Amino acid sequence: MNTRHITISDCSLRDGNHALKHQLTKEQISEYCEKADHAGIDIIEVGHGYGLGASSTAFGLAKVDDETMLSIAREKCVNSKLGIHFVPGVGKHSELEMAMEIGVDIFRIASHCTEGNITHRSIEHIKKSGKKVFGVLIMSHMADAKRLLKEATGMKSAGADGIVLMDSAGYSTPDLVREKISTLVDNLGITIGYHAHNNLGLAVANSIEAVESGASMIDATIKGFGAGSGNTQLEAIVAVLERYGFLMNTKFKNLIDLSIYAEQNIISRVPDIKAINIMTGMHGLFTGYGTYIQKISSDFNVDIFELCERLASRKLVASQEDIILEEANKLAKKII
């Protein structure tokens, strides 16, 4: 019998916002938060898909501004903690201040997996304000366990209460998850979380592997609703963890209404795994790039698999759409 407690962090209203091109409405945020709170979800993350302060022509304009989204969610999160995702440089310090004033409980400060030092100032500041703060390493497949530990150690020294690894490309397999999560668990002595994407159909399996390797916080979304082929399905991970005997504040049976509500009122397209999602996953490309790569390969009339290979060799990270254009153009002109 497992006696470990697993914290469920529901990012349907943040990662799911990618799937809606950041067009979540006030009503959807309010209704979902109320139901998720009743269902016993520990943390409800809310905001633009790319995080606080990201609403822009570059990242996509959100329907509802950050302050309004967070204020609505704050009112409905009675027992659940309210969380935000923040990438320094995408969002500004003043936006963190605004989130603190509204009463956000959980601050997740993120960077590309090799650039953890850019998060330190924000982590230190939030920690001093007495809030819970996590360091988040995005695109974690692009660094080995030793490098992730170095970045995570820096975040811990800055004051992080925990570290979350994001498999932003849905590239990882359970063996990789095991090695990376257990390295962090064995060496850091703070909460370790895991955030999966389902490009290779492994999000639930990888999340289970993360828990078995010592992670105690799992990100999940209702019906797997998120960027690209989506995330770890909340209902499925809770059902499996329950069967394994892990302790959680929510139960599968509490999620049935939430799942039906989201399917009928929020989810425009239940995520599936298209060939393009597998292609970006195999090549370790940010899962949110799938639709864009498909469009550009068609606009330039180039082979999509070859384009993905070129992008992988450029070690593309998030927010580098210009390189997709550049490589498609070169491929069309047969420039190596």
- The contact set with ligand LCEJXURD (CB under 6 A) reads 15, 49-51, 138, 166, 168, 195, 197, 227
- CA angle (282, 296, 290) in 5-degree steps: 35
Minimum distance, C-beta of residue 219 to ligand LCEJXURD, in the bound complex (Å): 8
Minimum distance, C-beta of residue 38 to ligand LCEJXURD, in the bound complex (Å): 25
The residue among 22 and 132 lying less far from ligand LCEJXURD, judged by its C-beta, is 22
- CA angle (126, 189, 152) in 5-degree steps: 55
Residues with active-site annotation: 18
The residue among 14 and 310 lying less far from ligand LCEJXURD, judged by its C-beta, is 14
The residue among 215 and 302 lying less far from ligand LCEJXURD, judged by its C-beta, is 215
Q: Using CA atoms, how far apart are residues 137 and 244, in angstroms rounded to an integer?
A: 28
The residue among 262 and 331 lying less far from ligand LCEJXURD, judged by its C-beta, is 262
β pairing state of 217-220 and 43-46: unpaired
The residue among 267 and 331 lying less far from ligand LCEJXURD, judged by its C-beta, is 267
Q: Using CA atoms, how far apart are residues 193 and 208, in angstroms rounded to an integer?
A: 12
The secondary structure element, H or E, covering residue 8 is strand 7-13
Own/partner pairs, 115-121, CB within 8 angstroms, 24+ separation: 115/151, 116/150, 116/151, 116/152, 116/154, 116/155, 117/151, 117/154, 118/88, 118/89, 119/88, 119/155, 119/158, 120/154, 120/155, 120/157, 120/158, 121/88, 121/158
Minimum distance, C-beta of residue 242 to ligand LCEJXURD, in the bound complex (Å): 25
Minimum distance, C-beta of residue 34 to ligand LCEJXURD, in the bound complex (Å): 24
Q: Using CA atoms, how far apart are residues 30 and 74, in angstroms rounded to an integer?
A: 9
The residue among 51 and 60 lying less far from ligand LCEJXURD, judged by its C-beta, is 51
Sequence-ordered list of residues with C-beta below 8 angstroms from that of 79, at least 6 positions apart, any chain: 37, 40
Minimum distance, C-beta of residue 332 to ligand LCEJXURD, in the bound complex (Å): 29
Q: Using CA atoms, how far apart are residues 260 and 180, in angstroms rounded to an integer?
A: 35
Return the residue nearest ligand LCEJXURD (CB atom).
Answer: 168
For the record, the structure tokens of 85 come out as: 């995702």
| Residue with token string 């500004």 | 92
Minimum distance, C-beta of residue 70 to ligand LCEJXURD, in the bound complex (Å): 17
| Residue with token string 């943390």 | 43
For the record, the structure tokens of 115 come out as: 């650039």
